[in-house]
A and B are shown apart, each in its own frame.
Chain A
């Protein structure tokens, strides 16, 4: 047993750091919490004006995409404890769904609101199809299957030239238009992404404490025990997998509408790794943690442009160092951090 900064005595601080106790205090004092959240929302609403340049607003939009992706992967990995390394495949499917249905490629120009449900549903259905047989497997087998699946999707997009236009990808994708109003500037887009982020954060924070959310935690902590308690663990895992996939699909749809093009090279294994790093850095299973992780890993490379070459190297080291020293992440959820710090039987 390696001594940790966590107090293991049976005193009033048992199992919690001082900081955790402080946070808990913040959590319980409702008014302050809502005041802080309100202030944050106001800040986010005026952020484009504060940022000023289009370049910075674009970075903020990127951060928004990654927050959605990380929130989705967090459902799979953080809440349900499933190791999905091919997550980016669902992002790709969402993006190509929009690209196929709203571009000159097939001559289809469906409206955004018609495509959005499809872009969420396709990846979810595919997630169910892939997950039905594979989610019965042990965790690390699942990691490999999803990794193989992610690569398969990318290779298919790359090779099926007649359908996907191969490595060149699909360009001239329609900009997203809302009620006849086309979103063309990053600033307009920022508010659309912000809207989705807020909706998803609210939905997930309700979901965690719902029956399904608590069941997910049970599956993650001890699958056998969860089954013994009468939970249908397989269907629960499928639901987590499919919800995560749907999130990625929505992010992909927004991404394609924002970029105006979609090509296989945006959806490499490296992307999956980056999203993975985000939730690992921030803290698996914690919504604020995941958001902090996503924003950090989007903003950091922009600041570190001069040493961009070393970016992935730094991410790799980050993963190792985090796992060895602080597996619960920077801003952990209290429950998840207790689990990750639990030593001995794994």
Chain B
């Protein structure tokens, strides 16, 4: 029971991060039916930007509380803005020139962006993992038998706020509703006077901004960032988006949480269930197996209305 509750908390944290990244995939996919390969690497870029800023400023936990707060807030802002800018650049240089070309060309092009981002991060930040400076109070409190760190609370709360914010923005504001309208019917939206190019840009900004923030939280949580972190996390977040139903914003949130829990329980119980044959190192394989299974048996996902074969 103790393990169960602990894995539940861990899973929720992981799931919140996946959900934040999954939102970026699902928004672009819903609009353009394009799998944005570069998105995972924009998440990674957010983590790197924060690490560079924090190490450049050299603030430590020993500094006055207000300074630490301002510095961390600055790192978050810069990471979100930086990833958003990179997302915008992806749209401008790798997508827009071939917006009308066959999809295979678009996919290869964003795959190129992904490789470029990874290698820039590797060349600038080095091949090895970068330590993420500890700037978050390391305390924890006990809830029954379960130890919950402040940082876990922070990640869950922050993700929740961001997701609710996005939900409200998309569903309640006029600007947000243009996304829904364009997703529904691209041509009709254009005929209604919606600047669809703006809308496409908006999704290429919003998604990466959330992804960048998630990248910072990932770095804080694990205490490290590495240049390939966008690759595996990206596939998992995409899995989450597919599980939830690609194109659906609430689906991405749900799918993210579900995958996080699944993975965390997998890591906790896999070796017990298989009698020690498969250890926790099999959890990545587990995630890929879930992806393939969902795509095969229920490609529309939990909340997706669209059929996979929509042309």
Are A and B co-members of a single complex? yes
Q: Known contacts being A83-B104, A143-B35, A327-B101, is A156 close to B116, with CB within 8 Å?
A: no
How many whole Å from B110's CB to the nearest CB in chain A? 8
Indicate which residue in A143, A312, A320, A343 contacts B101 across the interface (CB closer than 8 Å): A343
B123: A residues at CB distance < 8 A: 309-310, 313
How many whole Å from B92's CB to the nearest CB in chain A? 11
B103: A residues at CB distance < 8 A: 139-140, 346
A224: B residues at CB distance < 8 A: 311
B115: A residues at CB distance < 8 A: 273, 312-313, 315-316, 319
Instruction: Please tell me if B285 contacts chain A, counting CB pairs below 8 Å.
Output: yes
Please, how many angstroms separate the alpha-carbon atoms of A338 and B165 in the complex? 46
Binary A-proximity of B281-311 (CB < 8 A = 1, otherwise 0)? 1101100110110011001000000001111
- B114 in contact with A316 (CB, 8 Å): yes
Interface of A is mostly: helix
B116: A residues at CB distance < 8 A: 313, 316-317, 320
Please, how many angstroms separate the alpha-carbon atoms of A177 and B47 in the complex? 52
Instruction: Please tell me if B119 contacts chain A, counting CB pairs below 8 Å.
Output: yes
Q: Known contacts being A140-B107, A151-B288, A323-B105, is A317 close to B235, with CB within 8 Å?
A: no
Tally of A-B residue pairs with Cβ under 8 A? Answer: 136
Interface of B is mostly: helix
How many whole Å from A150's CB to the nearest CB in chain B? 9
- A323 in contact with B106 (CB, 8 Å): yes
Instruction: Please tell me if B77 contacts chain A, counting CB pairs below 8 Å.
Output: no
Count of chain A residues with Cβ under 8 Å from any Cβ of B?
48
- B235 in contact with A159 (CB, 8 Å): no
Instruction: Please tell me if A236 contacts chain B, counting CB pairs below 8 Å.
Output: no
**Chain B: which residue is nearest A273 at the CB level?**
B115
- B35 in contact with A140 (CB, 8 Å): yes
Instruction: Please tell me if A196 contacts chain B, counting CB pairs below 8 Å.
Output: no
- B94 in contact with A134 (CB, 8 Å): no
A52: B residues at CB distance < 8 A: none
- B285 in contact with A324 (CB, 8 Å): no
- A317 in contact with B112 (CB, 8 Å): yes
- B108 in contact with A276 (CB, 8 Å): yes
B239: A residues at CB distance < 8 A: 148
- B101 in contact with A323 (CB, 8 Å): yes
A149: B residues at CB distance < 8 A: 288, 292
Please, how many angstroms separate the alpha-carbon atoms of A189 and B144 in the complex? 67
Instruction: Please tell me if A56 contacts chain B, counting CB pairs below 8 Å.
Output: no
B109: A residues at CB distance < 8 A: 319-320, 323-324
Indicate which residue in B105, B119, B231 contacts A310 across the interface (CB closer than 8 Å): B119
Interface residues of chain B, those whose CB is within 8 Å of chain A, are 33-35, 93-94, 97-98, 100-109, 111-116, 118-120, 123, 231-232, 235, 238-239, 242, 279, 281-282, 284-285, 288-289, 291-292, 295-296, 299, 308-311
Closest 8 CB pairs of A and B: A319-B112, A316-B115, A316-B116, A320-B112, A313-B119, A148-B288, A323-B109, A133-B296
